[in-house]
Amino acid sequence: MEKSLPTTERAPSEAAGSKNFLRSTISKLVLLVFTLYLLVQSIGDPRHHHSRKHDNAKSSCLQPPPLFPPTPDESLQRLWEYIGTESFKSASIIRHSGAVKIDTSSFDDMGPVGEDKRWDTRFEFHDYLAVTFPRIHQDLKLEKVNTFGLLYTWQGSDESLKPLVLMSHQDVVPVPASTVDAWTHPPFSGYYDGTFIWGRGSSDCKNQLIAGMETIELLLDAGYKPKRTIVLSFGFDEEISGREGAGTLAPFLIERYGENGVAAIVDEGAGFSKQWGQVFALPGVAEKGYTDVFITVRTPGGHSSIPTDHTSIGILSELLSKIESVQYRTYLADESPMLGLMQCGADHAPHFPSKLSKLLSKRSNSNTHSSPPTCKPKPDALALEAAKMGPPVKYLMQTSQAIDVISGGVKVNALPERTTVTVNHRINIGDTPETVWKHLTKLAKPVAEKYNLTLHAFDDVKEAPLSISLYASPNTLEVAPVTPTDVDTVSPYAVLAGTTRAVYGEDVVVAPGMMTGNTDTRYYWPITTHIFRFGPGYDPETDSGLGNIHTVDEKISVANHVGMVKWFVLFVQNMDAAVLE
């Protein structure tokens, strides 16, 4: 059964003044009750901590109550009920399927915007959005940044309130021709099988773009008038690092609203996961850093019939073997969201491992979690124990390294004079790009000395004769700032958590999540401290999650998509009503 939805009221007429004064008073009382509820939790009311396995206040995982907009409105109530109907579901399938049918692939070798015709598929996608969402294109301000970046602005009535920004990206990863036959349904068919919509971009992330558009279109149809400005910002090349899309949209918005001028951002990201017998919603509040390191070995050439003992390929292979044999430290920095997730597991999950719980309690009760800088770091027992859950968990607590691309040699009877490799790194919270560079320099130095080669390590010399050269990609990215996750105040995180529990029930625990990859939000760090990388759709029946993104048979369940629309409809209204601290 659908829950009744109290919703936010619009500007009152003169005849309804006294009635709306009462509603306004009720709204303030509801917000006061919400704040008092959180205050009671923060001082340890046992009714809300019955499942806690340790007593340290810092390590408790407080959960706000389900949060609905504070005052009723007939048109918004009808909107909420409509989202749960077969009529809306059928229309939404058509809208999302139509978006998937448009191939907006981004390729690594894309030329400049305006020159490379492969960008032009975005024109077709823009036309589709204009036809599919007429109210948005009639009532909102649309600006196009760098030709294809879409910026929709719904101006709020209160300019003192910081705007809310909802993000997504228009592009998808390409489908290799060699894999097309492996798809159950053609990759750009948008096929609906009664449960799932199939196709490239169905879950990464045209679903979130379409859900955001559907939300605004529905609110416009219902006559909703926000106090807080709402901005939809859609990049068009996220799959190739977003430089042309988000890389131009973000500076545009920073120029308009200023640094820290936005209340919160929601972009694609982590979703829901069942762990330790508990369903968690895991909004990404942090991202790992990023650096590609290019290594080039230059040695003399010659005829293969009179070879040197070690060619550039052999020397580089020796170095790569050393790199793979020495992994980065597995540890949890105090600010790591993974620490918060484990605290939530210990508090709320029925099958949270007792060993992890003991290690967590020991850490929580300790005043020091790391060794002095002059000492070799001590092993992090908590992180090492958690890492036993497998690579997806391990690499949320460790800088990763992956040797991804190698090239060397041009002819079978000619010694290779130049061999290159690219090593990709995703940087753990607590580490920096310099951590990676120093580590690789240390490993490369003895190899260079062994073969009497000059070592150029991150000294701006990309290559030279008789040398080993290491240099970093200009796309190097520091670890993202960590979004605050306070729920003892009316914060954006508390609004997000309360909205999630309103849509999916109080059995869902909202915990801090973390991204191993990077999203377009990398360009938006200066504009707000409240960035959430969150896919708020969830279907417990299929638990399809991200639905095979970037591979064969990408798909999304329609129930997941409808849940996402419900979430955005509530979140927009809840953020509009919130008096953020």
Q: How many CB atoms lie within 10 A of CB 127?
A: 11
Q: Is 145 exposed, middle or buried (0-12, 13-18, 19+ CB in 10 A)?
A: buried
Q: Is 204 annotated as a binding residue?
A: yes
Q: Is the dihedral of CA 95, 100, 106, 111 positive or negative?
A: negative
3-class DSSP state of 334: coil
Name the phi and psi angles at 441, rounded to 5.
-60, -40
Beta strand pairing call for 264-270 and 531-534 = parallel
Q: Are the beta carbons of 524 and 265 closer than 8 angstroms?
A: yes
Residue 172's pLDDT is what?
Answer: 97
Q: Would you say 267 is a known binding-site residue? A: yes
Q: What is the full DSSP assignment across 259-316?
A: TT--SEEEEEEE-EEEETTEEEE--EEEE-EEEEEEEEEE----BTTS--SS-HHHHH
- Paired residues of 420 in beta bridges: 296, 407
Question: Is 431 assigned a ligand-binding role in the annotation?
Answer: no
Across 189-262, the runs of DSSP E, i.e. the strands, are: 196-198, 230-235
Cα dihedral sign, 148-146-549-511 = negative
Whether cis (ω within 30° of 0) applies to the bond prior to 375 is no
Q: Which of 171, 244, 347, 554 is catalytic?
A: 171
Let me know if 238 is a catalytic residue.
yes
Q: What does the pLDDT read at residue 60?
A: 77
Burial code (b: 16+ CB inside 10 Å, e: under 16) for 85-121 equals: eeebeeebbebbbbbbbbbbbbeeebeebeeeeebeb
The residues, any chain, with a CB within 8 Å of residue 16's CB and separated by 6 or more, are none
Spot the catalytic one: 238, 244, 268, 287. 238
Active-site annotation holds for 103: no
Residues 468-497 have pLDDT tens digits of 999 999 999 999 999 999 998 899 999 999
Instruction: Find out whether 303 is annotated in a ligand binding site.
Output: no
Written as six digits, the tokens of 220 are 């416009």
Domains belonging to the chain, first-starting first, are: 74-268+518-577 (3.40.630.10), 289-328+399-472 (3.30.70.360)
- Distance between CA 554 and CA 187 in Å, rounded? 8
SS3 566: helix
550 is in an annotated binding site: yes
- Across the 581 residues of the chain, what is the mean pLDDT of every consecutive 10-residue run? 36 37 39 38 32 41 94 88 97 98 97 97 98 98 98 97 98 96 97 96 96 98 97 97 97 98 97 95 96 97 94 98 97 95 96 96 68 70 96 94 96 96 97 98 98 97 96 95 93 98 97 91 97 96 75 95 98 96 77
Q: How many CA atoms lie within 13 A of 61 on its CB side?
A: 28
For residue 483, give every residue at least 6 positions away whose Cβ sits within 8 Å of its Cβ, in sequence order, or none.
285, 286, 493, 529, 530, 531, 532
